[in-house]
């Protein structure tokens, strides 16, 4: 895993260095909306010095430019073939945390932010490393190679179930009886896992981009931590839900789409 970490100022400089001015201006407006042009110029000078100290830039025709080995990291933040975003709730369910995997030209990059979004970390990964990062992020205790479909729920059933378990961490006996009578005892642990989290689920989203670089949702997996293993909820072609245990085969299908990833 090869990683670079950039402050907001360094990231803006990097976008400008690569001629990606729209992206640089967008970040500048988000973090420093009151910054004047003279102040921006001074900030970029400071950023270039810190990047010099990191040995990440070179002088080309009296201008500082990113070294060639780092340009792909920046261009991946500007344009990517598709992105898989992993999101999880904190243990107290008060907030969410996310990381993104960007896939471009047969390469994969992990992008996440540190220190209250003040530092951007971008890592180039191999296929094997991606699965390790996902397992660590979601804190999977175990992960099977594959899993059978344990039971199925129609889309409207799933919405009804989520409503039933979202009101309290302890499930009413009437709710348990209702769903066990429909799906059998196999659904009981699933109900308890969802109820503990008030129906809140973690997720993996697959996003592709149109010609205007706007994201389009292609697929979504829901992940629910259980006592010893995690549940995986996958929509089929009819938008109904297949419930499995977390497994490598299903995650790889969402991640790679039969693409070859190089590190």
CA 79/CA 17 separation, integer angstroms: 16
Chain-centre distance of CA 46, in angstroms? 31
Q: How confident is the model at residue 258 (pLDDT cuts 50, 70, 90)?
A: very low
pTM comes to 0.91
Residue 185 DSSP one-character state: G
Q: What is the CA radius of gyration of the chain?
A: 22
205 and 199 Cβ atoms separated by less than 8 Å: no
Domain range list for the chain: 1-78, 81-263
The count of other CB atoms within 10 Å of the CB of residue 156 is: 9
22: which residues sit within 8 A by CB, 6+ positions away? Answer: none
Domain 1-78 has CATH 3.10.290: no
pLDDT tens for each residue of 153-168: 999 999 999 999 987 6
pLDDT tens for each residue of 45-99: 999 999 999 999 999 988 999 999 999 999 999 999 999 999 999 988 899 999 9
Average pLDDT over residues 104-130: 95
Q: How confident is the model at residue 207 (pLDDT cuts 50, 70, 90)?
A: very high
**Beta strand pairing status for 63-66 and 57-60?**
antiparallel
């Amino acid at each position: 895993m090869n990683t670079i970490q950039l402050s907001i100022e360094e990231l803006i400089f990097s976008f400008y260095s690569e001629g990606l001015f729209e992206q640089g201006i967008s970040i500048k407006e988000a973090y420093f909306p009151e910054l004047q042009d003279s102040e921006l110029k001074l900030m970029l000078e400071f950023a270039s010095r810190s990047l010099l100290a990191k040995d990440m830039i070179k002088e080309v025709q009296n201008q500082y430019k990113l070294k060639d080995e780092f340009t792909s990291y920046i261009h991946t933040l500007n344009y990517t073939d598709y992105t898989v975003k992993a999101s999880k709730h904190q243990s107290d369910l008060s907030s969410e945390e996310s990381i993104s995997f960007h896939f471009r030209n047969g390469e994969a990059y992990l992008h996440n932010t540190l220190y209250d979004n003040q530092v951007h970390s971008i890592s180039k990964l191999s296929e094997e490393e991606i699965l390790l990062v996902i397992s660590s992020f979601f804190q999977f205790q175990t992960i099977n190679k594959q899993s059978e479909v344990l039971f199925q729920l129609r889309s409207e059933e799933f919405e009804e179930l989520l409503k039933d378990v979202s009101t309290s961490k302890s499930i009413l006996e009437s709710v348990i009886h209702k769903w066990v009578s429909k799906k059998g005892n196999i659904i009981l642990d699933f109900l308890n896992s969802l109820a503990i989290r008030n129906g809140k689920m973690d997720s993996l989203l697959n996003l592709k981009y149109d010609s205007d670089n706007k994201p389009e949702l292609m697929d979504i997996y829901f992940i629910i931590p259980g006592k010893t293993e995690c549940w995986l909820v996958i929509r089929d072609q009819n938008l109904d839900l297949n419930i499995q245990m977390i497994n490598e085969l299903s995650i790889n299908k969402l991640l790679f789409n039969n693409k070859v990833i190089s590190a």
